[in-house]
């Protein structure tokens, strides 16, 4: 997932029509998505509620291809799936996000 902006206070990653924004000044994590030409309602959570970033891998039964996502996990157990090109990309994205927020793992 390409990093489009990285400062000490803000990290923006974009994959296709999905944008993940971590903003330390605002104290929020926000995921913006589009479906075709329509913007979906953005998901937002306080950065203090982010517990971890993990890689989720699954097999597409129709094509047999492994599909990977970077998962943003909150303390209440909810999760956001951020699409990745492959497992290596998902792992690199999770590492970048953990480093930005100072999470261990």
Give residue 105's pLDDT. Answer: 65
Give residue 71's pLDDT. Answer: 96
* 78 in Cβ contact with 99 (< 8 Å): no
CATH assignment of 3-101?
2.30.29
H and E: helices and strands count for the chain: 1, 10
Give residue 104's pLDDT. Answer: 81
Angle (CA) 86-28-76 rounded to 5° is 75
Give residue 2's pLDDT. Answer: 82
3-class DSSP state of 96: helix
CA dist 22 and 46 (Å) reads 9
Give residue 3's pLDDT. Answer: 87
Give residue 43's pLDDT. Answer: 95
3-class DSSP state of 97: helix
Q: Which residues pair with 8 in a beta bridge?
A: none
Low-confidence ranges of the chain (pLDDT < 50): none
Give residue 65's pLDDT. Answer: 92
């Amino acid at each position: 997932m390409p990093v489009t902006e990285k400062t000490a206070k803000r990290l923006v990653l974009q994959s296709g029509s999905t944008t993940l924004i971590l903003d330390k000044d605002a104290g929020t994590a926000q995921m913006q998505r589009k479906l075709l030409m329509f913007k979906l309602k953005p998901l937002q959570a306080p950065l203090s509620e982010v517990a971890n970033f993990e890689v989720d891998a699954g097999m597409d039964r129709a094509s047999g291809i492994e599909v990977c996502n970077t998962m943003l996990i909150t303390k209440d157990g909810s999760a956001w799936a951020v699409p990745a090109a492959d497992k290596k990309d998902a792992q690199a994205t999770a590492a970048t996000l953990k480093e930005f927020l100072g999470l261990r793992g």
